Chains A and B, each alone.
Chain A
């Protein structure tokens, strides 16, 4: 099953994580408002999560350091995933920007993989994956447009959806029109 193969391959990136006891995310139950806000104030650590597909819609969730990103994406490319989308999330309370990569499969061996990296909000630089997936070109340009994340090595990082002379990044939480 491709799920196991991918999981094994991605585990290799996290030597610190316990191989025998993989982290399975508990479905979030009713919590009070305070508990929730306190929880999201702590940034998530690097590691591999197995998620419940019927709740979350994807199977594997790997958070990697920016340096490991190309390795993770190469693993996924070798296992014949296609790139679904790349996007960003602004965690302003944690002072971090997150880049989320979605991968999925064409065959009936369903397995969705999400790869994330967390970046410093004041200096967000992450290597580009256009060398591995040519389709990442537009996705990365769009993420740069919306969040200001710099993709190191991108061939043509100019605004895609915003006007050519735009110097603002609309999806940042502190963006005032």
Chain B
């Protein structure tokens, strides 16, 4: 759309898109070397909210660590708990009852919709359209109210336990979830009409920040960043876990590689999540939510274990190195936004600063997840 002008190296200045800035979603600092409005080079500085969750993993016992996972990415917290709980169950050989698996998937998908709604509102706000944020947050309130009644938290959920859940869902929740689905479908139509169909919005995103599939591979990008570039990769399909094989849903993939493609991927993902929620509500079996036989103290056998799950932001991986003790020997959390953000430095060279900020919005960043 806009071709880079001839850059003269002696006319650059450094602009600090600093830790305090309305557009960076969290404490992120990008040191941009600018030539007029064009970015010559960018360096991302992270670590402002680094809390060393991995060290905490080594000193806390397994049950004590459950609450840490939701503090990493607070918008899509349930998915992260899911990944951690799955790897420990895999290692220690704990069986999960079927009802618990279905409820877990239900919660994960509801949380995914909530996270995408927040991303949608914040993204359009970054571009200058202030109103959709309010509508998206109102839809999200319905989800948060539902989940609060069952889990007790609105944002940082600590709902999963090793082997199942700690609280069962009741009829009120199922009723509310069923009422939510048609309401959300109507809202999505509204968003598509008002935002996706808006000419200014489309012109703002078309052709911005093309990311080639090769670049995605070198950086390990996942979620909408990879799927917007034509890579059909979703951990729920490629490496199925939990009860995802039971559900019928599509993985949206767009091949244009630009910001509009990433936006479209996430909007379609919301609709697919609604499908999964509906199927989960239909197929929900009766039964217990915790296994009958569960070890009192969780002590996975010595060895290396890895589990990847698909969260709202991409492929979240937990690598557990256990020495057979009560606390992990090493707990590595592979955060998807970390790899997605890394692309920014290379991809934003030669862009206008407005385009770079639109690109940052399309990456769906949550900084505490990068910094852990």
Contacts and interface: CB of A to CB of B under 8 A. Distances in A.
A–B contact (CB under 8 angstroms): yes
Interface of A: 28-29, 31, 33, 36-37, 39-40, 54-58, 61, 80, 82-85, 87, 89-90, 100, 102, 104-108, 110, 112, 114, 133-135, 137-138, 146, 159-163, 170-171
B87 A84 contact: no
A83 B323 contact: no
Contact of B330 (A89, A138, A160): A89
A84 B217 contact: no
Nearest to B226: A106
Contact of B329 (A61, A89, A102, A146): A89
Contacts of A61: 304
Contacts of B334: 84-85, 102
A152 to B, nearest CB: 20
B323 A161 contact: no
A158 B91 CA distance: 35
Contacts, number: 120
Given A102-B334, A137-B342, A160-B47, A57 B306 contact: yes
A87 B218 contact: no
A83 B302 CA distance: 25
B47 A161 contact: yes
A116 to B, nearest CB: 9
A85 B336 CA distance: 10
Contacts of A90: 330
A13 to B, nearest CB: 20
22 contacts: A28-B303, A40-B302, A40-B323, A54-B90, A58-B304, A82-B219, A85-B317, A87-B332, A100-B332, A107-B233, A107-B238, A114-B304, A135-B219, A135-B220, A135-B339, A135-B343, A138-B342, A146-B54, A159-B47, A163-B47, A170-B55, A171-B330
Contacts of A162: 47, 50
Given A61-B304, A87-B332, A82 B216 contact: yes
B240 to A, nearest CB: 10
B217 A80 contact: yes
Contacts of A134: 215, 218-219, 346
Main secondary structure on B side of the interface with A: mixed
B306 A112 contact: yes
B160 to A, nearest CB: 18
A15 B165 CA distance: 49
Contacts of B46: 160-161
A102 B218 contact: no
A160 B29 CA distance: 12
In the A-B complex, list the 9 residue pairs whose CB atoms are closest, starting with the nearest.
Answer: A135-B219, A57-B306, A85-B334, A161-B47, A28-B301, A161-B50, A106-B233, A87-B332, A82-B217
Interface string B302-344: 1111111000000101010101100001101010001100110
Given A40-B323, A85-B334, A108-B238, 16 more contacts: A28-B303, A54-B90, A55-B305, A57-B87, A57-B307, A82-B219, A100-B332, A106-B232, A134-B219, A138-B342, A159-B47, A160-B46, A161-B50, A161-B372, A162-B50, A170-B55
Contacts of B58: 171
Interface in B339-372: 339, 342-343, 346, 371-372
A171 B55 contact: yes
A85 B324 contact: no
Interface in B228-250: 231-233, 237-239
Contacts of A80: 217
B274 to A, nearest CB: 25
A100 B342 contact: no
Given A89-B330, A137-B342, A83 B218 contact: yes
